[in-house]
A = this chain, B = another copy of it.
Amino acid sequence: MLSTMQDVPLLISRILTHGATVHGSSQVITWTGEPEPQRRSFAEIGARSAQLAHALRDTLGVRDDDRVATLMWNNADHVEAYFAVPSMGAVLHTLNLRLPAEQLVWIVNHAADRVIILSGSLIPLIAPLLPLLKTVEHLVVSGPGDRAPLAGATARVHEYEDLLAGRPTGYDWPELDERQAATMCYTSGTTGDPKGVVYSHRSIYLHSMQVNMAQSMGLTDRDTSLVVVPQFHVNAWGVPHATFMTGVNMLMPDRFLQPAPLAEMIERERPTHAAAVPTIWQGLLKELHTRPRDVASLAQVVIGGSACPPALMRAFDELGMRVVHAWGMTETSPVGTMARPPAHAVGTDEEFGYRVTQGRFPAGVQARLTGPGGERLPWDGRSAGELEVRGPWIARAYYNGPGAEPLCPDDKFSADGWLKTGDVGVISPDGFLTLTDRAKDVIKSGGEWISSVELENALMSHPEVAEAAVVAVPDDKWGERPLAAVVLKDGANAGFEALRAFLAEEAQIARWQLPERWTTVESVPKTSVGKFDKKALRKRYADGDLDVTRL
**A residues whose Cβ falls under 8 Å from a Cβ of B:** 1-8, 10, 14-15, 18-19, 21-25, 64-65, 91, 179-182, 196-200, 202-203, 206, 209-210, 212-215, 218-222, 245-247, 340, 342-344, 346, 360-363, 366, 379, 390-399, 403-404, 417, 419, 429-431
Residue from the list B5, B200, B403 in contact with A395, Cβ < 8 A: B5
Taking a contact as CB atoms under 8 Å apart, the answer to whether A213 and B2 are in contact is no
Residue from the list B221, B343, B361, B391 in contact with A6, Cβ < 8 A: B391
Q: Within 8 Å CB of A431, what residues of B?
A: 21-23
Taking a contact as CB atoms under 8 Å apart, the answer to whether A391 and B202 are in contact is no
Q: Within 8 Å CB of A209, what residues of B?
A: 206, 209-210, 213
Taking a contact as CB atoms under 8 Å apart, the answer to whether B430 and A7 are in contact is no
Q: Within 8 Å CB of A220, what residues of B?
A: 214-215, 218, 340, 343
Taking a contact as CB atoms under 8 Å apart, the answer to whether A23 and B430 are in contact is yes
Taking a contact as CB atoms under 8 Å apart, the answer to whether A6 and B392 are in contact is yes
Taking a contact as CB atoms under 8 Å apart, the answer to whether A221 and B342 are in contact is yes
Taking a contact as CB atoms under 8 Å apart, the answer to whether B22 and A430 are in contact is yes
**Min distance, Cβ A42 to any Cβ of chain B, angstroms:** 11
Taking a contact as CB atoms under 8 Å apart, the answer to whether A198 and B6 are in contact is no
Q: Within 8 Å CB of A23, what residues of B?
A: 430-431
Q: With the chains together, A418 CA to B215 CA distance in Å? A: 32
A-B contacts besides A5-B202, A214-B220, A221-B342, 6 pairs, CB < 8 Å: A3-B199, A6-B394, A8-B392, A214-B246, A215-B220, A247-B342
**Min distance, Cβ A396 to any Cβ of chain B, angstroms:** 4
**Min distance, Cβ A25 to any Cβ of chain B, angstroms:** 7
- Per DSSP, are chain A's interface residues mostly helix, strand or loop, or mixed? loop
Taking a contact as CB atoms under 8 Å apart, the answer to whether B215 and A10 are in contact is no
Q: Within 8 Å CB of A182, what residues of B?
A: 3
Taking a contact as CB atoms under 8 Å apart, the answer to whether A396 and B4 are in contact is yes
**Min distance, Cβ A259 to any Cβ of chain B, angstroms:** 29
Q: With the chains together, A197 CA to B6 CA distance in Å? A: 11
Residue from the list B18, B24, B215, B404 in contact with A246, Cβ < 8 A: B215
Taking a contact as CB atoms under 8 Å apart, the answer to whether B395 and A4 are in contact is yes
Q: With the chains together, A363 CA to B394 CA distance in Å? A: 23
Q: With the chains together, A203 CA to B5 CA distance in Å? A: 7
Residue from the list B21, B198, B397 in contact with A379, Cβ < 8 A: B21
Taking a contact as CB atoms under 8 Å apart, the answer to whether B343 and A222 are in contact is yes
Q: Within 8 Å CB of A212, what residues of B?
A: 213-215
13 A–B contacts from the bound complex (CB under 8 Å):
A1-B64, A3-B179, A4-B398, A4-B403, A5-B200, A5-B393, A6-B390, A25-B344, A212-B215, A214-B214, A215-B247, A245-B362, A247-B342
**Min distance, Cβ A322 to any Cβ of chain B, angstroms:** 15
Residue from the list B180, B221, B246, B396 in contact with A1, Cβ < 8 A: B180
Residue of A198, A221, A394 ringed by the most chain B CB atoms within 10 A: A221
Q: With the chains together, A32 CA to B190 CA distance in Å? A: 61
Q: With the chains together, A5 CA to B361 CA distance in Å? A: 18
**Known contacts A220-B215, A221-B342, A391-B8; is-contact A2 B430 (Cβ 8 Å):** no
Q: Within 8 Å CB of A18, what residues of B?
A: 361-363
Name the residue of chain B whose CB is nearest to the CB of A19: B363
Residue from the list B3, B180, B363, B398 in contact with A14, Cβ < 8 A: B363
Taking a contact as CB atoms under 8 Å apart, the answer to whether A4 and B404 are in contact is yes
